[in-house]
Structure 1
Amino acid sequence: MNMKGRTSVKKIFAKYKWLLIALLMISIIAVPMVVNTLFKFSSNFSAEWSAGDALSYVSGLQALLGTIILGIITVEQGQDAQEVNRRLSEENNRLQKIMAQKLLPAVKLTNPSCKPTVLHRGALSYVPQSKQFRIIRSYYGDSVQHETSEIRVNIDSLVEEIKYIKTIEFSLQNISESIIRHIQVDSVDIVGFQGKTELVECRNFGQGGIGTLLATGDSVDVSLKLYSNNAIYKELWDDDLAGVAVVMHLTNTTISGTTFSEYIEFGMQNNGHYHINYGEPLKQTGQVKLD
């Protein structure tokens, strides 16, 4: 028996010490005395035990007691083995999930920057209706090398009544070991702030996404433009302690067709501070307080 087995047996004896002592005393002393007394003083029993009979009886009880002890040890060790197997199974599943995670098309948000709020005048094009967004491609300097994907989000306004535009620029970087060919933006949520505004869930107008080939470490530039005619949004956007809080729900697809859903929650302040949180499909809603 190895050291671990001896330790386990010691624990079992410590756990059932008084029960074993009681069984031993009863089997060796109490039961033989009772039987012998019945033979000696009761008319129903005509013979007394011989010494050989007593020894045989005690030997049989000791064998029974040993069997009981071995049974207890077997049950306890079986339970310990089941617990060890359960823990090993959980650890194995966790390690498999970690290894598989490297192949899932996950992206992270990098290099965020918050632009000043712009007071809009004139006509707007390619802006969806209230509580919707659409994705278009833009080029700076008439060069495909300066391509960016614009996510235009109409929070709460008729297109012709939009007054304020807030722009947040960032990059989405492929941090998996797979090549990503498409990033689907399922929804964009504008998070409420301290009772002044409520959560606004904006759906994708046209179900467009960001079509691009991203190898491991590659990035795509994104410009998130928020549109509103509500002066409260402008007040929050221009406040150094408030800013913008957004949750984007993405479905990323690899070149082989594997998909992975995630959300990216980020808050941007005009003083340069920001925070970013990531998660799997569980959709985050409610109020967010920016630090």
Structure 2
Amino acid sequence: MAKDDPKQTLTCFKYRSGVSALRCLVDGTLYFAKPVELNDILETKFDHAQPEAFSKIYLDTISEVSQNRGGPRLSPGYPCPPDFIAINTEENERFRQSCDNIGIFSAARRPNDQAMWAYYAENCQGVCFELEWSASIVQESQLLPVDVTYSRVARQHNRAEDWRTVFLDLAEKNPSLSLQELYELSLEEQFRRRMGILSTARVTSIKHTDWAHEREIRLLSGKAGARPLLKSVLKRVHFMRTDGAQWGPIMQELHLNYPHVELAQWTFHHGEITASAQSMMFKTVPVTDIK
């Protein structure tokens, strides 16, 4: 079996309270939340673009492909096929329902963010999981990594933008097909699936600028819920304080069931606000003849 390319490995970090971290370790799972379970009340909230806006992008794209092949530019009155409009309307509704039920795993880009230690890791009494996602694990688990973007403008989603991206790619890969043949291919499941993936990635990767300091990374799953992935991706556990109620049980669970996982303790220094991590390991020492 071919080895994964380290350059394609995604490394991200998940801050957890002591209770949550211990539950994840015992179960061996990572939780992919529904949008309504996340802390942004505007999560995946959007309006679909008006049909006219969809049609404009659709017509402009058809004209662009026609001209690129030496044909004429289609007139503005060139009609969208009625069956296409009907299918698009149905897809809009299915798309919204899909977004409402998608699973989102939120993660950070670094393990030394003081605000996240305070907010998500129980004021530094929790831990931070360092997770390494190889390309094969991402593919086998059918996950989609996305970088979150931040905006304060009204969210209007035009799925035609994703239709355009996929259609132009289809036309480029099939230069001998007519526009009618390309259109027929655009109605097939493979095309619509690619379009849906692109649209899902866009609409679920936008958050309000109030959250911009988090610089979030996400992995999207087709459905929400706990997935048994932790043992496959957990590389290192970062911690700061050792006085949390769950710190001892967490260390014991790591020692017993995650022997290859590394440990690192962080110390924040004042002055220039620097931070350092020291790798650690635990050993079992037998004790006998206790009196």
Q: TM-score, normalised by structure 1?
A: 0.23
Which is richer in strand? 1
Q: TM-score, normalised by structure 2?
A: 0.23
Which is richer in helix? 2
Higher radius of gyration, 1 or 2: 1
Q: Which has the higher contact order (CA 8 A, sep 6+)?
A: 2
